[in-house]
Amino acid sequence: MPKTPNRVLTTESGAPVADNQNSATAGVGGPILLQDQHLLEKLARFNRERIPERVVHARGSGAYGHFEVTDDVTGFTHADFLSEIGKRTEVFLRFSTVADNLGGADAVRDPRGFALKFYTEEGNYDLVGNNTPVFFIKDPLKFPDFIHSQKRDPFTGKQEPENVWDFWAHAPEATHQVTWLMGDRGIPASYRHMNGYGSHTYQWTNEQGEAFFVKYHFKTNQGIRSLSAEQAQEIVGKDANSHQTDLLQAIERGVHPSWTLYVQIMPAAEAADYRFNPFDLTKVWPHKDYPLQRVGRLVLDRNPDNVFAEVEQAAFSPNNFVPGIGPSPDKMLQGRLFAYADAHRYRLGVNHTQLPVNAPKATEADNYGRDGVMATNAYGRTRKNYEPNSFDGPVETGRPLAAPYAVAGYTGTHEAPAHTKDDDFFQAGELYRLMSEDEKGRLVANIAGGLSQVSHDDIVEKNLAHFHAADPDYGKRVEEAVRALRED
């Protein structure tokens, strides 16, 4: 059988490379010549191979798959990808930790990002959530401060319990999420063995224009599996990339992880009088009030070929909606509608939506965006770059993606409206009371392990007050555990 001719190595301009082993020098053993274009090009490109990492969710893994509708939800939304049972839509899902850097370990106590891109026929729909149904804060104005408190201290260069717990001491609304994070589900055994949540409240609109508020729940079909602090420490020592390894190997050997999507649906008219503020990200909607309704099945069945190109450059924005789905007055969601897309414009450039992992697959983006760094849609004489025009360019539909909602009042900085059960501690106490004795013991030990390292008594006391307010037994146990550790 004849040997296949070797492909010719070239420079980036396409010129053939004569020698890829030796730099050009001024004679044998002499200094390198500035005219060695191939060397200069390789070194310059190498210096620029990395891009700014995400400030949050830097450490991530991802996979492709599909979403298939299993139940009729057309009474609640006219989104085309949810329009009929059996309909499949290609997806890309990126998992991540939140606080650590790109080189951080996977098996750590931290929320997990669950960012899902649906490549629908009406455009890409991004659902950007976590593996917890709630979060630490309810207003985006506090988000930079919160993340700064969780990141590496500027002096010590590592995460400091003093900073972590000081912020939480001044954010009583964080008590619910702290209870989640310090509990058994704070360290998932793998990305496959955890749930995903939209976390925020979103709006669905049906063909008749009726509006509903919804919460998304992706329940793992592999079952929930978590790690104790001791198990996680052992795994990190053996394989810091344990979640990445597990996801990659499972898919490669044909074990395709899956999740069942359920939603909670609230008629829009019920939102104002609901006992909890339905747009407060620190709160859940109890299932007895709004039961889970099944929608479909999510399956991951293909690994990326290039982690940098397809995972690191994957860009998600909760502002990427499709007809039939829209935002709600959730203040944290409102802040993320801006912040996520802005982060990607900074990291990847204004044309990041043209990268293969981010570009629509089931339709084509058709608009008047032009130019900028790395533009690939540089249409010339056949396409105008203004609107309206007389040359058959794309035009507006006149149909909003979602239903409008009424607003009233004066502009200004306002606290969120209070509902009957809107304190910062009730739901944290409910979560604690659902736990078994063993779960409570591990929760208390995890909290005390960090809080006992705080040197300022007032920070400790403020945090203890939050746990007491959530449940007297909860507060008593944490207080005793912290005291015992601090006396050692």
Round to whole Å and give the CA distance between 321 and 335. Answer: 15
Closest CA to 81 of 314, 301, 398, 360: 360
Long-range contacts of 475-483 (CB under 8 A, 24+ apart): 477/440, 477/444, 478/444, 478/447, 478/448, 478/451, 481/444, 481/445, 481/447, 481/448, 481/452, 482/447, 482/448, 482/451, 482/452
**Sole residue written with tokens 């996979």:** 63
User: Among residues 38, 57, 344, 466, which one is catalytic?
Assistant: 57
Per DSSP, the three-state class of 159 is strand
CA distances from 248 to 67, 97, 182, 274, 470 (A): 19, 17, 27, 43, 40
Query: What does DSSP assign to residue 121?
Result: B
DSSP annotation string for 5-47: PPPPPB-TTSPBPS-SSS--BSSTT-PBPTT-HHHHHHHHHHH
Q: What is the DSSP letter of 356?
A: T
Between β-strands 211-220 and 293-302, what pairing exists: parallel, antiparallel or unpaired?
Answer: unpaired
CA distance 407 to 405: 7
Q: Report the chain's terminal Cα–Cα distance, integer Å.
A: 76
| Active-site option among 38, 78, 130, 303 | 130
Cα(65)–Cα(91) distance, rounded to whole angstroms? 5
The answer to whether residue 446 is catalytic is no
Question: With contact defined as beta carbons under 8 Å apart, do 246 and 95 qualify?
Answer: no
CB atoms within 10 A of CB 484: 11
The answer to whether residue 131 is catalytic is no
In terms of DSSP H, where are the helices of 86-241? 143-150, 161-169, 175-182, 229-238
Measured in residues, the chain has a length of 488
Query: What b/e sequence results for 108-135 when a residue is b if at least 16 CB atoms lie within 10 Å of its CB, and e otherwise?
Result: bbbbbbbbbbbbbebbbbbbbbbbbbbb
Query: Cβ distance 251 to 63 under 8 Å?
Result: yes
Q: How far apart, in whole angstroms, are the C-alpha atoms of residue 178 and residue 239? A: 27
Judge contact between 403 and 205, C-beta under 8 A: yes
Which one, of 61, 134, 71, 140, lies nearest residue 94 by Cα? 61
CB neighbours of 424 closer than 8 A, spacing ≥ 6?
A: 172, 173, 175, 176, 282, 466, 469
Rounded distance between C-alpha atoms, residue 117 and residue 64, angstroms: 9
Whether the CB-CB separation of 201 and 330 falls below 8 Å is answered with: yes
Residues annotated as part of the active site: 57, 130
